[in-house]
Structure 1
Amino acid sequence: MGDNQGAHAVTETTVPLDDSPLTRQPVKEFGLRSAFALSFADLSPIVGIYTVFAIGIVAAGPAFLWAFPLVLVGQLFVCGVFGNLASRWPLQGSVYAWSRELIGRRFGWLTGWAYMWGLTLAIVVLALAASPYLLGAFGDNAPAQLTTELVAVGFLVCGTAVNLLGGRTLKTLIYVALACELVASIGIGIALLIFDRVNSLSVIFNGGGTAHGAHWLIGPFLLPVAYIAYSFIGFEASASVGEEVHDANRALPKAVMYALAFGGVLVILAAAGLVLAIPDMPAVLSGKDTNPIATTLEHSFGSAAGRVTLVMLVVGFTSSMIAVQTAVSRAIWASARDKALPGGALLGKLSGREGMPRYAIGLTFVVACVLVFFGTTKVFALLVSFASFGFILSYYMPIVGLAYRRLRRSIDLSGTWGERWIGIMTGVAVVWLTAEIVNLVWPRAVYSDWYLNWGVLIMTGVLGIIGGLLCWRVFPGGAPVTSGTGAPAAEVTAAEDAA
């Protein structure tokens, strides 16, 4: 029943509201392997490690490593729910489409709004983060801010070109990135653990003087738990292109679970190797060594490995940026297809032999280019925080929607992937994401500027107000809040369940 049910959902929910210009459907370009590679590239162990490592070890000492398995376990429950929803509704836009089908178009729209902003800011973060590594590979270790921003725009141009071409070009680059990720994470992690370990295993139980016992757990440890969420997001990228995946009902649950489980283990392996190989731990804990990963790698492998590492970082960050742009462009296209975005007639078009949403891809490029020039050092930290929050919030909404539908006993998930454990997975995921959202938005005196400490709450409020006003304009009072089939989403789901 599950596969027929999933196929029925695709047939029903992808029917356009009119005959023009939304009649064309996405071309199925992905199989299980390429879908896995897309999710893995978006997750990117390299990006996860290099983005949060220094923050975590300074905030909570070497014992911050325990935050990695904690966050991974919580995210695996989220991923399990996503696998179930993807097998039920393998639709473009993932969390947007699931929220729409579970509760209705307004709820779906607000989920998509959070998701699109989280992903768009992630594109900016990745482009800005990749720039210094590329410049460093060419010997410029202290680039001017404008230089960094212009190089970031160059990354955006290249990434957008790959996405516009799509098809084999996109998949080939993703496979190359996968190879670099494996070498950089498995190779470096194992080499450091076996041949270059200078610290004893007891160091991973050391809080670095930040606090002890329960005070450490409810204080310093919570900061890396918040930031490490950035290491385990993006696994849903393949679900965002669900209508482009062959046998999506079976392939997508495997793709998202394999990407998170495999990528998560690699993140933990590499992070553990780095902590145990740090040559001067006091310098790192005091903040004197501001780039402990580079210092450790140079000490272990010599300066010749420096440029090779930088090139791998560039590949990792770039491939992740391309995968994120792929996911957000599909979310924009799916919303436009449902006439839920201004300019939907244009943004909902597909073009070229591959059926690419090129106008949606172009919009992400323009918005990201504008935001790049606001990416000063202080604002960059805020962008990282809000990108994580945008992801987590957009993950939260369909899971809460599913929990609500299950409590009302108004949904039948018989035959879907993981149906036997969906109740437990949903309950744990709701608790986990609630705690993580509170942890992310909680203002901490980390920065000298108050607006950075309160930045996530401020940006959430501003974008929430803008999103609410746009949602009211798209769905004015009295207008039917329908799904993509033209019928109320809850009624469509109930009819499908009855069928």
Structure 2
Amino acid sequence: MCVFTHTQPKSSRLVIRIARPRSYAATFLAAALSGLFLFYGFEACGDVAEEVADPTRRIPRAMILTILVGGVSGLLSFAGYVLAAPDLQAIVAGTDADPIPTILVNSLGTLGTVGAKAFPVITVTAFISCVLSLQAAGSRLLYAFARDRMLPGSRWLSHVSDKHSVPTNALAVVCVVPILIAPFVFWRPDTLARVTAFAVLGIYVAFQAVVLAVLR
């Protein structure tokens, strides 16, 4: 979209005029979530440190590369969405509350047959990659708590497969719980925002708890 789809005139790419003054506090906080998600995930490298050879050298390197690759790819994606947006004023004003589908529909026609087919493949691949990384990190984190007997059913959750050398029970729980949540969100779409907010707050409360513990 950065290359093929530019629907905005040059004068409106950098300056967006608003008809009336308004508070940008909520908009700023919502936009800040993009930055949080953009650079989030580097700590997952540490969750699999016990399974990595020479972790003291490779894990920090993987964390740095995660931030760099994620940051660059995310910024390019945002730039593509902004340049391909058919109506930036509607997005800023809030009349187009969910602009991503509008942008994609508007852009796919300009990408050609090959581009229109390649884009969904790239998107699905990215989602699968995210799911696999979250499952790997979440299962190891659950296993670590269970190994230290900090969870109910710790003995079962801390089981490690002799054949595959992975915490199979913890991995199964991490896979099953989202499957159970998905139908609930499907029938009650309004709960998706609550589930997402809970996940985001939980992540950063946990991060800050470690920071506060160190400062204390």
TM range (shorter): 0.7 to 0.9
Matched, 1:265 2:72: yes
Matched, 1:379 2:188: no
**What value does the CA root-mean-square deviation take over the aligned residues?**
2.6
- Amino acid of the structure 1 residue aligned with 2:193: A
Other-structure match for 2:55: 248
Match of 1:361 among 171, 187, 191: 171
Other-structure match for 2:202: 390
Other-structure match for 1:37: none
Matched, 1:232 2:42: no
Deviations 1:221-253 (Å, cap 9, x if unpaired)? 222213542333222111111111111112211
Distance 1:255 1:299, change over 3 A: same
Deviations 1:229-280 (Å, cap 9, x if unpaired)? 2333222111111111111112211211221122112211221122123234
1:328 deviates by 0.8
- Amino acid of the structure 2 residue aligned with 1:261: L
Matched, 1:351 2:165: no
Q: TM-score, normalised by structure 1?
A: 0.39
Paired-residue identity, %: 27
Deviations 1:133-165 (Å, cap 9, x if unpaired)? xxxxxxxxxxxxxxxxxxxxxxxxxxxxxxxxx
- Amino acid of the structure 2 residue aligned with 1:306: A
Distance 1:400 1:201, change over 3 A: farther
Other-structure match for 1:287: 96
- Amino acid of the structure 2 residue aligned with 1:316: A
The answer on whether the counterparts of 1:240 and 1:331 sit within 8 Å (CA) in structure 2 is: yes
Distance 1:197 1:361, change over 3 A: same
Structure 1: gaps of 5 or more residues: 1-187, 405-499
Aligned positions of 1:304-383 closer than 5 A? 305-375=115-185, 376-383=188-195
1:303 deviates by 6.1
CA distance in structure 2 between the aligned counterparts of 1:325 and 1:233, rounded to whole angstroms: 15
CA distance in structure 2 between the aligned counterparts of 1:302 and 1:239, rounded to whole angstroms: 41
Distance 1:233 1:310, change over 3 A: same
Q: Which has the higher mean CA deviation after the structures are superposed, 326-335 or 284-293?
A: 284-293
CA distance in structure 2 between the aligned counterparts of 1:238 and 1:251, rounded to whole angstroms: 9
Name the SS for the 1:270 alignment partner. Answer: helix
The answer on whether the counterparts of 1:201 and 1:276 sit within 8 Å (CA) in structure 2 is: no
Task: Report the count of equivalent residues.
Answer: 211
CA distance in structure 2 between the aligned counterparts of 1:319 and 1:271, rounded to whole angstroms: 19
Aligned positions of 1:173-252 closer than 5 A? 188-189=1-2, 191-192=3-4, 196=6, 198-200=8-10, 202-206=12-16, 208-209=18-19, 211=21, 215-216=23-24, 218-226=25-33, 228-252=35-59
CA distance in structure 2 between the aligned counterparts of 1:352 and 1:300, rounded to whole angstroms: 52
